[in-house]
Structures are given as structure tokens and as C-alpha cells.
Structure 1
């Protein structure tokens, strides 16, 4: 692989472009390998910068991946917002369609799912309080957008229930993603004893069922007398 000849970034525009190059390279690498295998050394080689130079723009590998996670979430939200608006059908039917939308859109984004599954256990370590604060503020902003998006499809849910729904979906997605991608030894065990294959998780199905059941429960609770 030939490296591009880089000059030192001196302006804000040049520094921003260098950050975008690093993030784009990390995103491309994550289509080839899981988060756990992406090292700062490998990233710096792929982007054709010394590790010290990568660290001029991001304080750590984890900071790179958190920034990439934020970009992936923003792209996901853009995709969701392009989906057709809810029609006048019954709330339960709209809830089922909304659950299908969330599940299928997440399943199409393996890089996002892999980053989300590593967020709390890996990516939020080895970062400064400043980076943590910036990241959490970004995540909070995205959650607010998702709550408004949910209300557009399911206006029967208030903001509190819409936030509860999105929180449940995201937590299940975080757990279901790695469970749906077992290592080779586990796949071999399933092949040896097909009865064990029932333990294999279908990511999209788990997210869809969880979202649909949660919507149904929240709607039922809204109908109960206060």
C-alpha cells in the first residue's frame, strides 16, 4: 500500500480534514475487522501517519472510535428520518412497523453495532474527562433526536416513554450484537450438536421483538386509568 505524502496541517480546515481522513480510515478498517482488533499502530499505518501524529488529533484509539461512533449514529438517524412517516393506522400496527424499522436499519449497520457493543466496556476507557463530557453530550443530543423521531411515529407515547423505548432498544442491541456473532469454536459446537443451535441469537429478530413488545407494553400502560 502506497502512503500519501502528507504535509503538517496548519489551519483549522487542514486539521479538520486530517481528522476526517483518520475517521474514514478507521471506518474502512472496521468493515474488515472487529473493534477489538483495530489498534492504533494499524490505524496509523493505514492512514500513513506516525502514531504520534494521529495522537495530535485524537488523544487515544478509544477517542477515535468514540468519534466514529458519533458519526455512525448521526448517519443512522439520517436514514431513519428518511423513512415514511406514520400513517393513520392503529397504534399497535404502527408500533410493529416501527420495531421492524429499528431492527432492520441497525442490522444493516454492522460497524455501528460493533461500536455500540464496545462503548461502555472498551471505548469509554483510556479517555480524558473532557473527551467523556463531549461524547456524552453528543450522545444526549442524539437521544433527544431519536425521542422526537419516535414521537413522530408513535405520538401516543409521551417523551418519557419514547425515551424508555429507545433506551431498551439500544441496550438490547448492545447485548444481542456480540451474541449473534459467536466465535468459530462456538459455531463448530453448534454444527456438532444442532440442538444447541437454538442458543444462537438472530440480531434483527431479537431487536424487533424487544421493540415491538416494549411498544405494546407502553401503549397498554398509557391506556390504563391513572
Structure 2
């Protein structure tokens, strides 16, 4: 098939969708680490230089897909998280369970999150990095609004902290819950090692239960990454 250059915005948009749809299909068959630009180009029916006309690197393609996957997850949470009665602790535990269950059902998203900092955010320009981080910030803000409807006791800053810590938990738990064959054999042959093998959903749920309980108990409502509050500070006068 002879390559035809896209000559208007509609054709260029269609070419971008073609590349993204191809990458999405590939991620249903293989992990992020196996998706190469050469194979993506071949399956999309484009020469590699033509793919690079629309995305500056493999990582730029995958960062775009990460943003799309997060938005799809948020839409699912909108349907899954309904306000319920109960104590903050009870609602926090149910929130942790829902977050863990819904994200576990999205293995492509988990894989993208787990490679984001170490791989995907490398080999991109400042412009792509700005677009990606702005998209991530908007997604975090949407998640914060959603979480506050379910657990308003958190406060805006602590809800943002919960979102950030959820992403960090997923990033660590995903590869940890997928051990290589040698470790699987070790778990099978030595029953004493059983506590070391934890499923992804349970690991994320337990981590988020503890995180939410801690945020509620401390009641600091401070920005993500902030240092501990000083007990020596005088109380703020009201009125």
C-alpha cells in the first residue's frame, strides 16, 4: 500500500488515532516493556519516520494512552462510588476496596502506571512532559472531587494526597504481584514463604485502608509531600 501524507487536520487526527488504536491493541497482547516503535510502526502500516511525525517517541505514545486509561478509570469510579452511610472508617475501607478492585480490572493502566516514572517520562521533550503533567493534574483534580463526595472528612489536600499515594501504591504493587517463574516455584516449594506472595488487589486494598485511616486520624489536610506539622505552632485565631 502506498503511503499518503495527511494533508489536513482531519487526516492528521485520523493518523494519530490509527497509531493510538494500534498501540492499544498491542497492549492487550503484551506488556509495555515489549511494545517497540518498530513493531508499532509495522502494525500501523506506517514507516517509523511517519509515526514520528505524530508522536516524537514510543514513550510519547504511551503517555497519551496513560492519560486515556486514567480518564476511563475515573468514569468507571463515577459509576461505582455512590455515597453511603457509615462511619468515616467504614466508608474509608469501602473506598479502598473499590479503588483496588476497579484498578485491578485495568491491567493496561496498572502496567502503564508502574512504568511511568522509570520509563515513560524519559525520552520525551519538555513540551510533551508539560502536556502529560497537565493532563495528570487535571485527572488528579477530578479524582479529588470524586473522593470528596464519598469521604468529605478527608479535606481537599488529603484527598489529593490519597490520589498521589494510590498511584505510588499501584506503581509498586503491580510488578511485585507478578513474580518471575523462579519465585513462583520458590513459593510453591517452601510453604514458609507463603506470606511473601500477595495478590495485587489485596495488596492495594490493604495499603489504601491504612493510608486512608492514617489521613483521617492525623487530620492534617496538607499538600502532597509536605513535612510534618510542628506541634510548637500556636493555634490560628478565628474571627
CA distance in 2, matches of 1:180, 1:222: 31
CA distance in 2, matches of 1:7, 1:105: 41
User: Is 1:169 aligned to residue 169 of structure 2?
Assistant: no
Distance verdict in 2 for CA 1:40–1:89, change over 3 Å: same
CA distance in 2, matches of 1:173, 1:189: 24
Q: Highest CA radius of gyration, 1 or 2?
A: 2
Native 8 Å contact 1:176 1:201 kept in 2:
no
1:28 to 25, 28, 46: 25
CA distance in 2, matches of 1:5, 1:186: 49
Give the aligned partner of residue 124 of structure 2: 127
Quote the offset at 1:6 in angstroms: 5.6
- Within-5 A mapping of 1:204-215: 204-215=201-212
1:105 to 102, 105, 110: 102
CA distance in 2, matches of 1:167, 1:85: 22
SS class of match (1:156): helix
Native 8 Å contact 2:81 2:98 kept in 1:
no
SS class of match (1:82): helix
Distance verdict in 2 for CA 1:153–1:29, change over 3 Å: same
Unaligned residue ranges in structure 2 (runs of 5+) = 221-234
SS class of match (2:219): helix
Native 8 Å contact 1:169 1:211 kept in 2:
yes
CA distance in 1, matches of 2:161, 2:202: 20
Question: How many aligned positions are there?
Answer: 221
Give the aligned partner of residue 224 of structure 2: none
Between 1:88-97 and 1:214-223, the stretch displaced more is 214-223
Post-superposition, which runs of at least 4 consecutive aligned residues in structure 1 deviate over 4 A?
none
CA RMSD of aligned residues (A): 1.6
SS class of match (2:203): helix
CA distance in 1, matches of 2:2, 2:103: 37
TM-score, length-scaled by structure 1: 0.92
Give the aligned partner of residue 62 of structure 1: 59
User: Is 1:14 aligned to residue 21 of structure 2?
Assistant: no
Between 1:183-192 and 1:55-64, the stretch displaced more is 183-192
Native 8 Å contact 1:177 1:203 kept in 2:
yes
